[in-house]
Amino acid sequence: MSIQFGPDYVRAIAPYQGGRPIAEVAREFGLDEARIVKLASNENPLGMPESAKKAIALAIADAGRYPDGNGFELKAALTAKYGVPAEWITLGNGSNDILELSAHAFVQPGQSVIYAQYSFAVYPLATQAVGGRSLVVAAKDFGHDLEAMIDAIEDDTRLIFIANPNNPTGTFIPGHEIESFLKRVPPNVVVVLDEAYTEFLAPELQYDSIAWVAQYPNLLVSRSMSKVYGLAGLRIGYGIAQPGITDLLNRIRQPFNVNSLAQAAAIAALNDTEFVKKSAELNAAGYHQLTQAFDALKLMYVPSCGNFVLVKVGDDDGAGARINLALLKQGVIVRPVGNYGLPQWLRISIGLEEENAICLAALKKALA
Ligand SMILES: *Cc1c(COP(=O)(O)O)cnc(C)c1O
C-alpha cells in the first residue's frame, strides 16, 4: 500500500486545465507550429506592447539581483493612475496570485466561500487548496445571480468571488448592481471583485470600482496585466483594497512574488494608453466578426464583454470535445469547457482578423 500524502481536500483537487500550448499541439498532431492559431487563453493577439519590450531590455541588466520586493516604482505608477495610496496595493504573480492569497488569508478549513456556477476555474481551486467549503450559486443566464449569492451567505462565509466580466461566459454585471450587492454583504465577508477583462468594457458599461474600495473595507478589486496589456507570460497582476485586507495579503505572499522584468514591463504597459485603445478596438471588431459568423452558422452564443466568446457547437454532451478535436487537427486551438459543466460549448478567444477567419473556416468544416 502506498502512503497517501496531504489532507483529503488537497487530494480531491482536479488540476487546472489551461489552453494547450502551441508546441504541444504541433507535436501531437504533426503540424507546423508557425501555422497553428491559438485562441484558447484570452491572450492579447497583438502580443506584448513595444513599450514593455523596451522596458524589459533595459531591466534585464539588473536581473542578476532580486527584484524590489515591495514594487515601489510599479506601485507609484498604479498610484498615479488610480489615485490610491501604495498601502492599498498588492502585487501578484499574475492576478491568479491575488485570488490564491485571498483564500489563504481569509479562509480556514471548513469555512465557506461563495462563487457562481460557470465562473472562473481558479475559485474552486483556491477554495479547495485551503480546505474551504464551496457554496456554488446557480448561474442566471450564464452569469452571476447576485440576489441568490446574497441568500447563499452563511455564518461561516468568509469570501465571495465575483468575476466581472465573467470567464468563460463573458457575462457582465452593471456597476449599480454590484454596488447594491456590496451594500448588503456583511462587513466581515471579503468580496473579491475580479476584473481581469475590465479594460475591454465599452465606455457606457465602465464603472469606478476603485472608488468603492474607499467605501467598503471588505472589498478587494483584482486586476490582471495578462489580458489587454499583453503580458500573460510575465505573470503580473495587482489587487486594490484598504490596509485591513492588503496588510494580510502582503504578510503571506512570497517576499519576491513579482519578478523584476514583469515589474518593469507593467509600468510601461500601464502607461501605454495607445496600445490599450488599439487592443480594445481590435477586440470589438473581432467580436463582431466572430458573432456575425456564428449568426450565419445559426450557432447560439453568449453575448460577451470580454475578449472571448462562448459558443454552442452541438446539442449532445460530446459536441464540445468532438468539435475541439476537429479544430485541433486543423491547427486551431480553442478552449473546451466541459470541465465547467458546459460540454456542448467552446470558448473562443478573439484573435487578429486573419486568425478569426482561419478559426471560422475550420469551425465550418468541423461542423459539416
Ligand atoms: C485570466 C483570468 C485571471 C488571471 O489572470 P492572470 O494571468 O493570473 O493575471 C483572473 N480572473 C479571470 C476571470 C481570468 O479570466
Which of 166, 194, 304, when mutated, tests ligand 1's pocket best, judged by the most ligand atoms within 8 Å of its CB?
194
DSSP letter at 76 equals H
Within-domain flag for 162:
yes
Q: Give the span between the Cα atoms of 225 and 326, in whole angstroms.
A: 32
Residue 165 and residue 286 in one domain = no
Residue 298 and residue 168 in one domain = no
| Domain enclosing residue 191, as ranges | 57-271
pLDDT of res. 258: 98
Within-domain flag for 100:
yes
Within-domain flag for 10:
no
Tell me: the pLDDT tens digits for 30-61?
Answer: 999 999 999 999 999 999 999 999 999 999 99
Q: Give the span between the Cα atoms of 47 and 113, in whole angstroms.
A: 35
Within-domain flag for 6:
no
Q: Give the span between the Cα atoms of 253 and 92, in whole angstroms.
A: 8
Structural domains counted in the chain = 2
> 159: which 3 cell numbers?
469570501
pLDDT of res. 368: 92
Q: Give the span between the Cα atoms of 66 and 110, in whole angstroms.
A: 37
pLDDT of res. 80: 98
Q: Give the span between the Cα atoms of 94 and 219, in whole angstroms.
A: 19
Residue 255 and residue 111 in one domain = yes
Residue 40 and residue 185 in one domain = no
Among 271, 300, 321, identify where a domain stops: 271
Q: How far is the CA of 237 from the centre of ligand 1 (A)?
A: 9
User: What is the CB < 6 Å shell around ligand 1?
Assistant: 42, 94-96, 120, 163, 167, 194, 196, 224, 226, 232, 237
Residue 240 and residue 137 in one domain = yes
Contacts of 104 (CB under 8 A, 6+ apart): 129, 130, 252
Q: How far is the CA of 152 from the centre of ligand 1 (A)?
A: 25
Q: Mark residue 118 as left, alpha or beta (left: phi above 0; alpha: psi -120 to 50; beta: remaining).
A: left
> 134: which 3 cell numbers?
464551496
Residue 63 and residue 211 in one domain = yes
Atom of ligand 1 minimally distant from the CA of 97: 8
Q: Give the span between the Cα atoms of 175 and 207, in whole angstroms.
A: 5
Stretch (H or E) spanning 91: strand 89-92
Within-domain flag for 92:
yes
- Residue closest by Cα to atom 14 of ligand 1: 196
Among 271, 286, 321, identify where a domain stops: 271
Which of 42, 48, 96, 308, when mutated, tests ligand 1's pocket best, judged by the most ligand atoms within 8 Å of its CB?
96
Q: How many CB atoms within 10 Å of residue 214?
A: 12
Tell me: the pLDDT tens digits for 59-74?
Answer: 999 999 999 999 999 9
Residue 172 and residue 290 in one domain = no
Q: Give the span between the Cα atoms of 288 and 263, in whole angstroms.
A: 34
Contacts of 114 (CB under 8 A, 6+ apart): 135, 136, 137, 149, 152, 153, 157, 159, 160, 161
Residue 131 and residue 206 in one domain = yes
What are the CA-CA distances from residue 242 to residues 210, 215, 219, 324 (Å)?
10, 9, 8, 43
Residue 283 and residue 207 in one domain = no
- Residue closest by Cα to atom 11 of ligand 1: 196
Q: What are phi and psi of 348, to 5 degrees?
A: -115, 120
Intervals of the chain under pLDDT 70: 1
Atom of ligand 1 minimally distant from the CA of 232: 7
Residue 238 and residue 287 in one domain = no
Which of 169, 201, 224, when mutated, tests ligand 1's pocket best, judged by the most ligand atoms within 8 Å of its CB?
224
Contacts of 361 (CB under 8 A, 6+ apart): none
Among 271, 299, 320, identify where a domain stops: 271
Residue 226 and residue 333 in one domain = no
Residue 37 and residue 91 in one domain = no
